[in-house]
């Protein structure tokens, strides 16, 4: 009997001769912001219909050369992921549930008619990047190295069909808090003019088009003094924010979060809900109407609401603003359940408490 295995990748490594000096790197790591600076290398693997996954490379970070007719530039055949590398107190480097990101990337790939990158290759790519750019993982509290795997159609062809040539890349960016105010409660804007996704669409996939369609409503949110936008389905049911999931906390300790086929199933949300269940909270994943939130907030039944995602971690929502009503206030204080779940999650990620669910994966050796 033969057992099918994924052949190991034979990496070709080209070091960046113009890599930043330790001093330059430290200056960036002292104040990384979010998504503004990138490490010295990229990892990439090619795919073609005839050749499968091939030419695995670690290369100097730099521009990608693409044919102007590359399919991604016209029809948006693209997917991505987001996860983080955390430095523990002993200097070791870990990531959080990478298999879940790899599996989600495979689901996104299926929806976007892209090839499924084997989970082993996804994790190998992370380890390759950390092997060469591990010094870029910051060590200050609440900082991390944001890892951004992505895949796109690079075939030069204007016909509308799945591309026969695809590239997978991994880049990394040192990260501080996503919101400039840190973990202070944020205000969010209820979009009623725009939807992020529709039934049968690409809402559950992590694909660029979903984010492109969120930019105009996100700009509307900013005009109304809000940091994020909340989308509804059928003008009624809570979906998610532009780049994070949403969870409501009830007075009796129940956590409620939308069940929908058109939202991104967050790994942060899944982890937070598990931690809450471990503490004895009831957790409900079901349809939630905007009226339930309004009425629950007014009656005091809903005591806290938070956003969660890799970039945002767990961020309290102080206020929801809509064209004709407001819930909460911009001066709201962060909720106790929100902050204590946030602390437990980050304690696990930074190795400060036991990883009882086996969520951490060591990236350096
Ligand atoms: N929803 C959207 C639209 C997102 O972009 C993200 C961030 O990745 C999430 C939810 C949260 O997902 P995760 O917790 O896996 O980062
Ligand atoms: C993430 O949290 O990884 C995302 O992709 C969200 C984006 C707003 C940065």
Q: Is 4 left (phi over 0), alpha (psi -120 to 50) or beta?
A: beta
Q: What's the 353 CA to ligand 1 centre distance in angstroms?
A: 24
Domain 186-349 belongs in CATH node 3.20.10.10: yes
Say how many Å lie between the CA of residue 343 and the centre of ligand 2.
Answer: 20
Would you say residue 297 has pLDDT above 90?
A: yes
Average pLDDT of 37-45? 98
Q: Model-level pTM?
A: 0.96
Q: How far apart are CA 217 and CA 188, in angstroms?
A: 11
Q: Which residues pair with 57 in a beta bridge?
A: 12, 44
Residue 250 alpha carbon to ligand 2 centre in Å? 26
**According to the model, what pLDDT value does residue 2 have?**
58
3-state secondary structure of 272: helix
Q: Whose CA is nearest to atom 6 of ligand 2?
A: 243
Indicate whether residue 79 lines ligand 1 (CB < 6 A).
no
User: Does the Cβ of 264 fall within 6 Å of ligand 1?
Assistant: yes
Q: Where exactly are the structural domains of the chain?
A: 12-175, 186-349
Pocket lining: 243 vs ligand 1, CB cutoff 6 Å: yes
Strands of 193-336 (E only): list them: 228-233, 237-241, 245-250, 255-258, 283-286, 302-309, 313-321, 326-328
Indicate the top mutation candidate among 148, 233, 245 to test ligand 1's pocket, ranked by most ligand atoms within 8 A of CB: 245
> What is the fold, at CATH topology level, of the domain defined by 12-175?
D-amino Acid Aminotransferase; Chain A, domain 1 (3.30.470)
Confidence of residue 348 (pLDDT cuts 50, 70, 90): very high
Tokens of 346: 């980050």
Q: Ligand 1 test: best mutation among 103, 243, 306, 342, most atoms within 8 Å of CB?
A: 243
**pLDDT at position 32:** 95
Res. 29: pLDDT tops 80: yes
Q: Which of 148-152, 330-334, 339-343 is predicted least confidently?
A: 330-334
């Amino acid at each position: 009997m033969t057992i099918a295995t994924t052949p190991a990748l034979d990496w070709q490594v080209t070091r960046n001769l113009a890599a930043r000096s330790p001093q330059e790197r430290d200056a960036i790591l002292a104040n990384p912001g979010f998504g503004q600076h990138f490490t010295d290398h990229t990892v990439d693997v090619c795919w073609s219909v005839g050749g499968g996954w091939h030419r695995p490379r670690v290369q100097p970070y730099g521009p990608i050369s693409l044919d102007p007719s590359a399919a991604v530039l016209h029809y948006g055949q693209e997917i991505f992921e987001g996860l983080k590398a955390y430095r523990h107190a002993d200097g070791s480097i870990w990531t959080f549930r990478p298999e879940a990101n790899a599996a989600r990337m495979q689901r996104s790939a299926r929806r976007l008619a892209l090839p499924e990158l084997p989970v082993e290759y996804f994790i190998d790519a992370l380890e390759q990047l950390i092997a060469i750019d591990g010094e870029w993982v910051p060590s200050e509290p609440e900082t991390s190295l944001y890892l951004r795997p992505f895949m796109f159609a690079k075939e030069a062809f204007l016909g509308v069909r799945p591309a026969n040539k695809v590239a997978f890349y991994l880049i990394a960016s040192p990260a501080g808090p996503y919101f400039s105010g840190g973990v202070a409660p944020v205000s969010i804007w209820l979009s009623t003019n725009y939807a992020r996704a529709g039934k049968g669409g690409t809402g559950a996939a992590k694909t660029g088009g979903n984010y492109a369609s969120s930019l105009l409503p996100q700009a509307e949110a900013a005009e109304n003094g809000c940091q994020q936008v909340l989308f509804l389905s059928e003008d009624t049911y809570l979906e998610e924010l532009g780049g994070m999931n949403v969870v409501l906390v009830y007075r009796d300790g129940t956590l409620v979060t939308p069940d929908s086929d058109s939202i991104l199933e967050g790994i942060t949300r899944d982890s937070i809900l598990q931690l809450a269940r471990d503490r004895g909270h009831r957790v409900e994943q079901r349809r939630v109407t905007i009226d339930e939130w309004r009425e629950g907030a007014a009656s005091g039944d809903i005591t806290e609401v938070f956003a969660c995602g890799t970039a945002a971690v767990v961020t309290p929502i102080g206020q929801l603003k809509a064209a004709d009503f407001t819930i909460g206030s911009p001066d709201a204080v962060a909720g106790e359940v929100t902050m204590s779940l946030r602390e437990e999650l980050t304690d696990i990620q930074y190795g400060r408490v036991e990883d009882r669910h086996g969520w951490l994966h060591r990236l350096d050796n």
